[in-house]
Amino acid sequence: MTAQTSVPTSIRPGAQWRNWGRSERTRPEFVAQPTSVDEVVETINFARDHGLTVKAWGAGHSFTSIAVTDGVHLDVGALDGVLAVDDTHVTLGAGTNLHQLPALLEPLGLALANMGDIDRQTISGAISTGTHGTGARFGGIATQVRGVTLVTAAGAVLRINATENPELLPAAALGLGALGILVDVTIECVPTFLLHAVERPEPADTVLNEWLQRSAETDHFEFYVWPHTTTALTKSNTRLPGDEPRHPLTKFSSWFDDEFMANGVYRAIVAAGKHVPAVIPPINRLAVKLSGNREFTDVSSRVFVTNRTVRFRELEYALPIDAVPDAVRAIQKLITDRKWKVSFPIEVRSAAADSLLLSTASGRATGYVAVHRYWREDPTEYFREVEAIMMAHDGRPHWGKLHNRHAESLSGMYPGFNEFLAVRELLDPGRVFTNDYLRQVLGK
Ligand SMILES: Cc1cc2nc3c(=O)[nH]c(=O)nc-3n(C[C@H](O)[C@H](O)[C@H](O)COP(=O)(O)OP(=O)(O)OC[C@H]3O[C@@H](n4cnc5c(N)ncnc54)[C@H](O)[C@@H]3O)c2cc1C
């Protein structure tokens, strides 16, 4: 029997925790806020020796219970910042938030190759769930990982990169938090670049017909189909060298579109729609008229990222890229047939195929289709029916967004599923890092 370790100084009694989407809450027995790798090791040894599970939490931006534990919640927020730079490879503390990156990377002349909608997440949380942006030639953030340092269940500090334990990288770069605690992450960055953004309302049917061509031709193409309208708002971003002239949005235009319309007015609209659903269709038509017609050029992070303050819940599936038009049309028909009033758009993005074991784009060019519901509305029925459509199109659920899939149905969806389970068995045989979510999606 292992000798029981005393309570490390970085550990205190747990407090109530909620995720951003308010779909999960927990009161863990302990919260640990380590300020060094040694304190992470101490925490894991303490938890393991006392029969407690450990989960790191990042920024709490997953909608699923993937970050939940009743044991020790480990906040890696103090392990942040740039730890090393080697040409374009930058090693970041695991708790670095994506919104810190422009200030950290721009002085080095570097940027992330691609980003998602927001930048509140931590780098470790983002890679652990396969967070992605859009662009048929670009992978999600985890595909840029060139190395990680992980503290395992045995309390060992394990380096995984091209020269040390390289065979573990396809699992550890996107590990669902199941393999250990990441303490640093090395990302391959790219030279700073600008994006020329064109945002337009267009006929949804045309956009769906042209989906494959436009996502292939445009560096970063995405669109939002508004229920109860025939319109899609398209966003086409083209990469330009970092020294080209910038033409950013004016302060007023940026505030009006991104804060006032997208957050302020929108919050009032979706809140009203919860009580009087009949107002949703005309309001969606108005929203489409008032937004999404602009063109500007700015540094990549400012174009990729938007500020989301209207709380919602989300389901997102990764489909074979050519399945997107049929799937979106099926969702449109579902909403019409069921006479549902849905205030949030259907969001469509793309990613290149990659070779990470549990990446939702593993082995296939991918189209992502996401649906959302205001956080005070019950999403169950809408999400369940959309999920059935996604499954009929061979879909894989985003690990951080709501879904109902289990290991039995997921294992056949990923060529590397069993290899991932073998790595987990090697690094965490006693399941120190498990929780209900991991038991659901990975099995025991
Ligand atoms: C408003 C909003 C917008 C979003 N936009 C996008 C988007 O554009 N694209 C997209 O793909 N997703 C998007 N997401 C989903 C989000 O990016 C992911 O759920 C992401 O994992 C959240 O990161 P986080 O830092 O909050 O991690 P958390 O949700 O806190 O944790 C996620 C997982 O990472 C693990 N983890 C965290 N830190 C560590 C560590 N140090 N070591 C080991 N494991 C760790 C946790 O244990 C957990 O398993 C969005 C979510 C929200 C709420």
Q: Which of 74, 71, 75, 81 is nearest to 28 (CA)?
A: 71
422-431 CB burial, b ≥16 within 10 A, e <16: ebbeebbeeb
Distance of alpha carbon 339 from alpha carbon 202, whole angstroms: 24
pLDDT at 240 over 70: yes
- Looking at residues 44-53, what average pLDDT do you find? 97
Please report the atom of ligand 1 found closest to the CA of residue 117: 8
Ligand 1: residue whose CA is nearest its atom 22: 61
Residues 6+ apart with CB under 8 A from 339: none
118 in contact with ligand 1, CB cutoff 6 A: yes
Given a contact cutoff of 8 angstroms between Cβ atoms, the answer to whether 377 and 274 are in contact is: yes
CA 337 / ligand 1 centre spacing (Å)? 34
Given a contact cutoff of 8 angstroms between Cβ atoms, the answer to whether 268 and 238 are in contact is: no
Given a contact cutoff of 8 angstroms between Cβ atoms, the answer to whether 48 and 66 are in contact is: no
- Looking at residues 238-264, what average pLDDT do you find? 77
Please report the atom of ligand 1 found closest to the CA of residue 76: 41
Tokens of 110: 């570097």
pLDDT at 254 over 80: no
Amino acid at 245: P
Can you tell me whether residue 398 is helix, strand or coil? coil
Please report the atom of ligand 1 found closest to the CA of residue 308: 1
Select from 39, 120, 124, 151 the residue to mutate for testing ligand 1; criterion: most ligand atoms less than 8 Å from CB: 124
Write down all domains in the chain, each with its CATH number in brackets. Answer: 86-191 (3.30.465.10), 193-404 (3.40.462.10)
Distance of alpha carbon 262 from alpha carbon 102, whole angstroms: 23
- Looking at residues 291-303, what average pLDDT do you find? 90
Given a contact cutoff of 8 angstroms between Cβ atoms, the answer to whether 274 and 283 are in contact is: no
Residues 6+ apart with CB under 8 A from 334: 340, 385, 386, 389
308 in contact with ligand 1, CB cutoff 6 A: yes
Ligand 1: residue whose CA is nearest its atom 3: 118
- pLDDT, residue 124, reads 98
Residue 249 confidence class, pLDDT cut points 50, 70, 90: confident
66 in contact with ligand 1, CB cutoff 6 A: yes
Select from 92, 96, 121, 375 the residue to mutate for testing ligand 1; criterion: most ligand atoms less than 8 Å from CB: 121
- 394: phi > 0 → left, psi -120 to 50 → alpha, else beta; which? left
pLDDT tens digits for 143-165?
Answer: 999 999 999 999 999 999 999 99
* Phi, psi dihedral angles at 251 (to 5 degrees): -60, -40
